Every structure is written in structure tokens, then in C-alpha cells.
Structure 1
Amino acid sequence: MIETVNKVVLPWNAWYEDTFLEISFPEKWQVDIFSLRGNKPVYSAQLREEAERMAEILRERKIQSVAIAIDDLTRPMSYEGFFEYLIPQLASWKYPPKVKIIIGLGTHRPLNRQELELKVGKTPFHFLDFVEVINHDYRNDVVPVGLEWGKVPVKVNRHFMEAQYRVVFSAIVPHPFAGFSGGPKMVLPGLSNIEVTRRTHQMALMGFVGKIGNVHNNKFRKLLDEFIRKIPVDYFIGFLTDERRQCIYLQSGELLKTYYDLTDVARRVYTIPRPEALYDVVWLNAYPKDTELLQIDTAFNPVLSAEEKFWHETTVFVVSAACHKGMGVHDLFGPGGALYRAPREKRLLKGHPVLFLLPTISREAFTKVFWEGYQLFNHPEEVILKIEELFSKPNLRLGIFPVASIQLTAP
């Protein structure tokens, strides 16, 4: 959906505030906003039905221990609405199964208690006699599963492997080299040892990947699926989100089939019509992946997924993000990590000015993640003044992607 306005309200600061950033642009600018389609959120009754379905499976199979792997705050979905139905149901049993909810961090930072409650709600913490919420620890809590990636032993979270019944929840959103996030990636690298995580990310550096928004003809995906078939996951629930991080669609079942079915739906949900104009300014707002500097590169998704350019030779690009948690943590790609590389100019945007609106980020932190030739600003007004300085004409055409980190551009 395209809307033309001059006062724009961008979603801002996912998880911690979920507020808005209001920006007023000059009257002579034509400002087009590319929003996602207005899909309705899933009703609570649907979440209840899904929770009841899962509880019934556990009852029928007489499951005594279940591990539920979920994604962290770098992904947009909260599972509070699901757990507030599932956990009380299990608590009503005479002998409820032991439940371990495991945050599949990969090599990201662990979540504190407040952040765990943002992800799963308060309900699990009211039933600590049989429920435990834990962060994945790739250093100390992984065990061999009898497989090797090259000559690297594959290890997976101990709590997940020891459970009688294994479940994966994940949001499915566009991913630069896996096509879409979630699904099998929740196990490898989400619950793996860092050596395996390193191998998965090295495949991206070597180019053995697919295109964003496409899970087919993807060497990384094919190899990952081979491993997942040998590390049994009993049940999977995938979730799609809207511009305010609400669940708009979910599907459950066997991991691989359900996941690939969902990616077809996700492609339709997250794809916007191809822009017809060539814009003077392309504004990419990183919400809902705007919590950490190390995650906001996904704001370039609409550009990376475009088969035809909607920008010209002198177009200015703007990236905006709240970055409430500062730089963030990635023990492989972050500063000091084994795969860290000095930032360079983006090949696709070579020669284009790229301006970053990051109110909480220092220049020192910024240049550890993005090329030093890019400019950093703390206020929207400064960005607008810089754009006016770069163009001699007063009538500019601006295209805004309010949730760029989950948006794809149609062919």
C-alpha cells in the first residue's frame, strides 16, 4: 500500500517502548510511504486452539519432559499470548510435564529477566515448579549429536536434546542469506556450538547462499535440512508478523514441510508492490529489528530484494533505528569476533551517500559496524538539512519503508 503525506510517523524502538518517531518533511517534497498490507492480527481464540492442540499431543503421548526452543529479541514475535494458554492447561494436570523454554540465541547476548518476560510473558514464571526459562549457552550447555559439519563436531543444546519431546517456535521474516529466518535455523545455529555457527556464517561469506526472500536453490538451506532430518524435532509452530509485531498468521506441524509452506505465505505477506518512481531519497526504517546496531543491516532488505532499481545515480539513502541496546552482541560478526571484518562501503550502493539516523549511537561505535564514509546523525532535522544540502532542487521525491527489515520488493 502506498500513501503520500508530508508528516510521517515511523514505528520505533521495538520491544522496549514500541512507540513512534514523528518526522515533518518540507512541503515541496513528495513523500510516498510503502506499508505492508493491512492483515488482521490472529485472534486470541486461535492461539488458544493451537495451545490446546499442543497440550493434547503431550497428553496423548504421555510426555514427561518437553523443550520449546524460541527466538530472541532480534526477531519480532512475542509468544506471551501462546504461553498464557498453554502453561495453565498443563498446570491443571495431576502430573504436568517438565517444560524448558530455551531462548535460541546462537551467539547473541543472553536475555535478562525483564527481556525474558517480554518474550514469553509472566505466566511461565508463575509455574516454576515445572517450567524453566533459560538462555542457550553455546559454551557450556551443548552436547555432541553424532554428526559432523566438515570435520567440526555438531553440538546442540543439552536441555533440548535431553527432552522427551522437542518443539520449535519461530517468527519467519526475510533473511539476507537464508531466504527467511526461523524454522531449521532455530536449531542450527540457534541452539548449536559456536564452531557450527561459524561454519553456517562462513557459507554466507563464501557466497553459498540464496537470495533474500527465497529459500529455494539455496545451498545453505539444503545442507541445513540434511542435518535437521538427523536431529529430530517433534513439532513446529511458525508465526508471521505485521508492522506492529502482532501475529497475523500461524501454522503448525512437521518442521520442514510446515516451514517451507509458511515461507510461501511469508513472501506474499512481506512483499510490497515494486516502486514505479526513481526516488531522490530512499528512507529505510529498521523497525522491528531496530534494537541493536549489529542487527539494523536488515533495513536494506527492500533494496537487496529489488530486481529493478527504484533509485537513480544521485539518490541518497537514509537508515533510521532506535538502537535501544546500543551496539548489541554477536560473538562471531561483532567487533572482536572470529568473523569480524572492517566495515566497507556497500557494493550495491557504491558512490551513494548513506545517512544514518541513530540517536543513541556514538561515532566510535558506529564506525565499528558501518563504513566510516557514511554519515551519522542524532536528530531527524539534521538529516533533512543534509539532504537539502546534497540536492540543488527544492522538489524532492522520497520513498519511505517504515518496517524495512521485514519488507521485500516485488519483481
Structure 2
Amino acid sequence: MGEYSFKYGDTTLITCIKDEHIIHLLKPKHVDSIIDIEKKVNEVLDNPIGTEALRDIIKPGEKISIIVSDITRAWMQSNKFVIHIVNYLSYLGVKDEDMFVVIALGGHRKSTKEELIAVVGKEVLDRINVYDHECEDKNELVYLGESSRKTPIYLNKRVYEADRVILTGGIVFHIFAGFGGGAKSILPGVVGIDTIQANHRLCFNPGKSSGLNLMAGPNIVQGNPLREDMNEVCKIVNPDFLFNVILDTEGNFIKFVAGHFYKAWYEGGLFIRSLYGVPVQSQADIIVASAGGFPKDINLYQTIKTMDNALYGGKENSVLILASECRDGLGADEFAEWFKYTTLEDMENALKENFTVPGYAAYKTAYTANHRKVIFISNLDDDIVKDFNMIPCHDLDEAMKLAYEICEIENPKITLMPYGGNTLPISM
């Protein structure tokens, strides 16, 4: 018997499992964190992937647009690197009044003053203009035609009129776009709501009640219709440079990639795959996954990534023990509202009419409960957990006992995911 621990809120859950039952223990590889952030930022700006150094692209007098993710991507800590990009441009002779930031809100609400400080830092906010993108204001958008998948392309007017466009962002596994970062700064970041809706609907198969397109998932780039559409739209916009960051499970910067919007981003994706993608030889009968403790398990909405990652490591109708404290309940109000649809089909058809990311997260919650037997360890009310077609539990030992009973296999294959929000099982 081996003792295994899983983060839960501010505490740790511990249980003992027979070693011979465990087929995989999924942990990310260790990479040293970046100590001198400014030095490393300047290094990659001068030595990019797939394009000229930024100093050879930018000319004084040009209008420079820097696209920065909004507060929902606060985990990437853009306030720690945007200032260095601004200073780099200043060193090249670009005046503060000739550069500006566009916050890539996508379809999200406008930023508060406090959120803008958190995203770009007070010095940047005091020095240069910072604008929120507005996806529903047609007066602030320029129409650029359609993608090959018939996605109408409405682009932020300030971005369109800029002489140079620099993308920033962070790379992680993404629930339907393969990886975050890259072209996502453009779509959904600074395009119109019609563009976002048309693109995001590609995560489903065409037609009514047709189900998920399983190629629109984490770690999939080639053949992923949604990501390929994002990349095509970004190519049409033709940004001049990209700077993306990668962080470890503790929130430390471990790698920066810069250069061509696709080539540099894809190299970052390969790094994520090697760091957090864990090869698995066989699918499990039981998966035990933690969202990673507070703040990663602050609510159910933030837990969806762990739930989705765990899907890829288990057999159909296998048992998933999911540990997520959810001290703040369900999370986003809109996320909870989507559960008024009581079937996957109804939820899917509603999403095809009005796609939102919280709605998709609600769909994946229902989808997981439909395809796995989920034992949910949380602080949520038991009746709420049951409403989601999951089994409520408050003790890991009890959950393990219940999983063995449900599984009805004498020697079940068990996969452990103590870093469920970051690690992705990749079938070999």
C-alpha cells in the first residue's frame, strides 16, 4: 500500500491505495523558473522564432498596438512583462504617445480601473493609452471578409489602423482550442461578437443535436477546426510579432517564446506538451484527480479544466473521483444559468444559437457526468452535486471505497492526477 496526497483548498487529502492497482501517477516535469524577467524578455525579443528581431521590425514614428489579455487571464501575470516590452520599444525610439494597449476582452465585460492596473501595471497605465476592446460596437470594428469556414471577420478598428501589432498571451492546454495563446489574442481577443460566435460553434459537429467535434480539444492543433479557423483569421490580420509566456504549477515564469504568431506559439505548445502532457499506455478504470487546491479549486467553474483533462485518461463510464473544495460555490453566474437546460442536446442547441465560454463549461460539466461516474469531493451542498448527476462525498477514503464498489472490478487500473488542472493524459 502506498500513501498518496491531493491538494484540497488550503489542506491536503490523503489516502492509501494498493501500488499494484496504480498504472499512472501524472506529474509535470520540473523546469527552473526565470529569475531575471526583464533580461529574458529582452533576450527573446532580440532572438525570436520565425521572424526578424523586434528591433528590426519597429520604426520610430509608427503607431504600435500591444494586445494584452484581460483580467480573466490574470494567472499569466502580464503586469510583470508588458512594462519591459514598452521599455524596449522606448529604447528603439518609439514615443509613449505612439504606442497603446488594447485589452483583449473577447466577449467579456469592460475592465475596471483596478483590473487594468492588475493587467498592465500602474506604470504602463500612467504612460500610454490603454483601451478595452468592444466586441458589440460595430463602429469600433472593421469588416475584413470571411474565413474559409465562413467565419465573418470583424476586427478592432484601433488594431486595424495600427502600423504594427504585437500579440501577448500565455500558453496552456486549452479545453477546445488545443493550446491557449497565439492567435487567440486576435480571435476571440479583439474581434466582433459575430466572429467569436461563428468560430466557437466549430467545437460542435454541424447540424442540430450533432454533439461535440472531438477534434476540438486540448493538445490538438492540426485537424482542430476551431484552432485552424483562429489561425487563418490571425494570418489575415497579419500581426507583426508575438510574445507568449509559460508558467509552472506554482505560477512562476519558466519559458518565454517570441516571434512569428504561429511558429513561436507552436514551439511553446510543444514545450507545454513535453512538460504537462503525460503519455499513458492504457485507460484507467478509476481516476483520482485534484484541481490543485486553492485558488485553482475556488469554485466549480474553475474546476472544469481538471474535469476535462481527466476525461482523456479514463475508459468510457469509468469512475472519476474529483477533489475540488469550491468554497465560492459554482462560480460565474452565467455558468450556473446554463443548467436550466436539462439535457445535453438542449444545451448544445442553445450554445449553437448563442455560444459563450461559461455555457460551454457548463456543457462539459454535464458531458463529463454523462460519460463518467463522477464522485465529487467538495463543500457544495449535496443536493446541488446530485442535480449535476454526480455523487457527493466529503472524504477521500470514503470516495475510494465507493469507487471500488461502483467499478465492480477486483483489480481496477487507477490513474492519479494530483495536478489535474495542468496535466493532460496523452494516449500512446
Q: Does TM, scored on the shorter chain, surpass 0.5? A: yes
Instruction: State yes or no: 1:373 paired with 2:389.
Output: yes
Instruction: Tell me how many residue pairs correspond in the alignment.
Output: 388
| CA deviations over 1:255-293 (Å, ceiling 9, x no partner) | 122222332222212212426694644224167865664
CA distance in 2, matches of 1:321, 1:222: 36
* Correspondence for 1:47: 41
Q: Is the 8 A contact 1:235 1:255 kept in 2?
A: yes
Kindly indicate whether the alpha-carbon contact (under 8 Å) linking 1:75 and 1:171 is maintained by their aligned counterparts in 2. no
For structure 2, list consecutive stretches of 5 or more residues without a partner in the other structure. Answer: 48-52, 206-211, 341-350
Residue 36 of structure 1 contacts residue 269 of structure 1 at CA under 8 Å; is this kept in 2? yes
Deviations 1:133-161 (A, max 9, x none): x4332223740232135777422223322
- Structure 1 contact 292–327 (Cα < 8 Å) conserved: yes
| Structure 1 residue 217 corresponds to structure 2 residue 223 | yes
Give the corresponding residue for 1:138: 135
Please tell me whether the aligned partners of residues 33 and 253 of structure 2 are also in contact (alpha carbons under 8 angstroms).
Answer: yes
Match of 1:119 in 2: 119
Inter-CA distance 398–284: structure 2 relative to 1 (3 Å threshold): farther
Are 1:409 and 2:416 matched, yes or no?
A: no
Q: Is the 8 A contact 1:305 1:409 kept in 2?
A: yes
Aligned partners of 1:271 and 1:297: how far apart in 2? 17
Residue deviations 1:33-76, cap 9 Å, x none?
A: 52100011223221243467777357645434423233543473
Q: Distance in 1 between matches of 2:66 and 2:238?
A: 12
Superposition pairs for residues 46-85 of structure 1, below 5 Å?
46-50=40-44, 56-57=55-56, 60-70=59-69, 72-74=71-73, 76-85=75-84
Once the two structures are TM-superposed, the CA of residue 320 in structure 1 deviates from its matched residue by 1.8
For the 8 Å contact 1:74–1:291, the answer to whether it is kept is no
Amino acid at match of 1:400: L
Task: Give the drift of 1:237.
Answer: 1.3
Is the alpha carbon distance of 1:112 and 1:328 closer, same or farther for their aligned partners in structure 2, counting shifts above 3 Å? farther
Instruction: Give the 5 Å matches for 1:204-353.
Output: 204-206=203-205, 207=212, 209-274=215-280, 278=284, 280-285=286-291, 290=297, 293-306=300-313, 309=314, 315-320=319-324, 322=326, 326-328=330-332, 338-339=354-355, 340=359, 350=370, 352-353=372-373
Instruction: Identify the match of residue 15 of structure 2 among 8, 13, 25.
Output: 25
Pairwise CA RMSD of aligned residues? 4.2
What is the percent sequence identity of the aligned residues? 17
Partner Cα separation in structure 2 for residue 55 and residue 320 of structure 1: 43
Q: Decide whether the 8 Å contact of 1:70 with 1:101 is kept in 2.
A: no
Distance of 1:333 and 1:48 partners within structure 2: 45
Structure 2 letter corresponding to 1:10: K
Task: Give 1:172's aligned residue.
Answer: 171
Q: Letter of the aligned partner of 1:138 in structure 2?
A: C
For 1:356, the equivalent position in structure 2 comes to: 376
1:15 corresponds to: none
Distance change (3 Å), C-alpha of 1:143 and 1:316: closer
> CA 1:283–1:225 in structure 2 vs 1: closer, same or farther (change >3 Å)?
closer
2:329 & 2:85 partners in 1: Cα distance?
31
Shift of 1:299: 1.2
Residue number in structure 1 paired with 2:345:
none
Partner of 1:38: 30
Correspondence 1:385 to 2:401: no
Question: What letter corresponds to residue 403 of structure 1 in structure 2?
Answer: Y
- Separation in 2, partners of 1:283, 1:165: 44
- What TM-score does the superposition give when structure 2 sets the normalisation length? 0.73
Q: 1:179/1:254 Cα in 2 relative to 1: closer, same or farther (>3 Å)?
A: same
Q: Give the letter aligned to residue 38 of structure 1.
A: H
Contact 1:278 1:312 in 2 (8 A): no
One-letter amino acid of the counterpart of residue 408, structure 1: L
Structure 1 residue runs without a partner (length 5+):
13-19
1:10 Cα shift?
Answer: 2.4
Q: Tell me, yes or no, if the aligned pair for 1:47 and 1:82 is still in contact at 8 Å.
A: yes
How big is the shift at 1:216?
0.9
Deviations 1:67-107 (A, max 9, x none): 32335434731123313433445567683344333332322
Matched, 1:400 2:416: yes
Residue aligned with 2:72, SS: coil
